[in-house]
Amino acid sequence: MDPIHIDGLTFAYGEGELRRPVLRDVGLRVHGGEVVLLTGPSGSGKTTLLTLIGALRGMQEGSCRVLGHELLGSPEWERVVLRRSIGFIFQNHNLLGFLTARQNVAMSLELDSTIPEAERLERAGAMLAAVGLAGHADKPPSKLSGGQRQRVAIARALVGHPGLVLADEPTAALDKVTGGEVAHLLRDIAKSRGTPILMVTHDPRILDIADRIVTMEDGRIVDSVPA
């Protein structure tokens, strides 16, 4: 079974006369180790689709199987458990300013009570080294550049060895060089682990990292081509 297997997914906001369809009969597969970029104009449903795949909101119609879990009709506790197996990366890195880079990354492991604090911090440090931040582990976010903060966010998403990485515009706030470095770093690390990535992006500068580019318009997938 593919890590992401979607059929007939339909979703709308509001009810009655205020009901606004956002996704219409979406079908999508993402294979293990595949890097898929989700593109299309603003308002086409990309981020809504990402939040449904990430179990961040409840399904309405269709089938959405993520890492072997069917999300249609799944209770909130089941979605919470699934989210622990997914690495999330957003445009706004959402780092806590009062923690160091190492502590921000280690937070991702706190839900697993079997991992002692010393091991969490050790694994966080190793992951930061893997993203090129070995010398910055004990700095707060305010002492890091935008590209470095996004690398911390990538380390936080990957430190728990997730089965899937979902990214929403992770390079939008970065300059061309830094954005390219961050995108290629994410691809290389995830590829080395065989972890699939689904990334929403408007950034044409990073299309070369993709195995496949999926285009959405008006809530539908209109194209899916190898990069």
Q: Per residue in 155-186, pLDDT tens?
A: 999 999 999 999 999 888 888 888 888 899 88
Which of 161, 189, 206 terminates a domain? The answer is 161
The Cα–Cα gap between 83 and 80 comes to: 5
- Whole-model pTM: value is 0.93
Residues 105 and 60 grouped into a single domain: no
The Cα–Cα gap between 137 and 168 comes to: 24
- For 109-151, the pLDDT digits (tens) are 987 888 899 999 999 999 999 888 999 999 999 999 989 999 9
Residues 102 and 13 grouped into a single domain: no
Residues 31 and 80 grouped into a single domain: yes
CATH number, domain of 222, equals: 3.40.50.300
Residues 112 and 157 grouped into a single domain: yes
> How many domains are contained in the chain?
2
Residues 157 and 168 grouped into a single domain: no
Indicate the average pLDDT of the chain.
92
For residue 69, what is the enclosing H or E element?
strand 69-70
The Cα–Cα gap between 69 and 16 comes to: 30
Residues 153 and 48 grouped into a single domain: no
Residues 94 and 169 grouped into a single domain: no
Q: Which amino acid is at 182?
A: V
Residue 227 half-sphere exposure, CB side, CA atoms within 13 Å? 17
Q: Which domain holds residue 224?
A: 1-85+164-227
Residues 125 and 36 grouped into a single domain: no
SS3 70: strand
Which of 161, 180, 214 terminates a domain? The answer is 161
pLDDT above 80 (res 92): no
